[in-house]
Amino acid sequence: MRRLPALAAAALLAIGGQALAQGFGGDRGGTPGEFDFYVLALSWSPAYCEGTGGRRDGDGQCRPGRGLGFVVHGLWPQYARGYPSECSSVVRSPTRQAIEVAGEVYPSEGLARYEWRKHGTCSGLDPTRYFQATKQARLAVTIPDAFRSANEERRAAPIEIARQFVMANKGLRPDMMSVTCKSGRLQEVRICFSKDLRDFTPCPELARQNCRAGEVTIEAAR
């Protein structure tokens, strides 16, 4: 689940969060509420902050001392193949109440607003309910103990990272998730949920996006 279209540098700066590239093609537009399942994308914040994110971070996600590990990148409506995006020509701006809900799960307000425009508008929900759904999905995932602390850099095989998530989350299987990497670094763990967010669900296209590296670096937080 995941993707960042080609944006101008100024637009990227405005995001203020980590809108990382997604793994397979999508279609701009779509009918709000018409999709097959959700993907919850959890980004490894240290990798984002060591890259371009640290240089363009405007909302403090990469501020020294925050020590963030896995953070919510987004909750993405998906088709069995591909995904919709920017499903409304008239985007409803999130209210302050909605942004307060988003602040409970997103590492920055800029990222939350970006995710609403690109993906939330395809959910069929209003901004507050979309961010509440994101929070619900995040609370349904247990981060393995090995990733609760981001104090030390280490290396691990992507299959081992997936195994630890499967062991920590009842009902989760390898065909319901993917581990992604970039330049030999852990990037994200992406987990598929049913449309009602009650269960994990198989997502073959997403599962095929698994990182193929033998091992990846899991960077330490700043």
User: What domains, with CATH codes, occur in the chain?
Assistant: 9-218 (3.90.730.10)
Contact 75, 121 (CB under 8 A): no
Q: What pLDDT does residue 17 have?
A: 41
- Give 96-143 pLDDT, tens digit per residue: 999 999 999 999 999 999 999 999 999 999 999 999 999 999 999 999
Q: What pLDDT does residue 152 have?
A: 85
Q: What pLDDT does residue 109 have?
A: 92
- Give 155-203 pLDDT, tens digit per residue: 999 999 999 999 999 999 999 999 999 999 999 999 999 999 999 999 9
- Give 8-45 pLDDT, tens digit per residue: 333 333 333 444 334 455 666 789 999 999 999 999 99
Q: What pLDDT does residue 59 have?
A: 61
Residue 152 class from Cβ within 10 Å (0-12 exposed, 13-18 middle, 19+ buried)?
Answer: exposed
- Residue bearing the bigger pLDDT, 108 or 76: 76
Q: Strands, E, within the chain: which ranges?
A: 27-28, 37-44, 70-78, 84-85, 154-156, 177-182, 185-193, 216-218
Which H or E element spans position 2?
none
At 2, the pLDDT band (50, 70, 90 cuts) reads: very low
Q: Tell me which residues are annotated as active site.
A: 73, 115, 119
Report d(CA 136, CA 120) in Å as an integer: 14
Report d(CA 144, CA 162) in Å as an integer: 10
Contact 74, 115 (CB under 8 A): yes
Contact 158, 165 (CB under 8 A): no
Q: What pLDDT does residue 203 have?
A: 97
Q: What pLDDT does residue 26 have?
A: 61
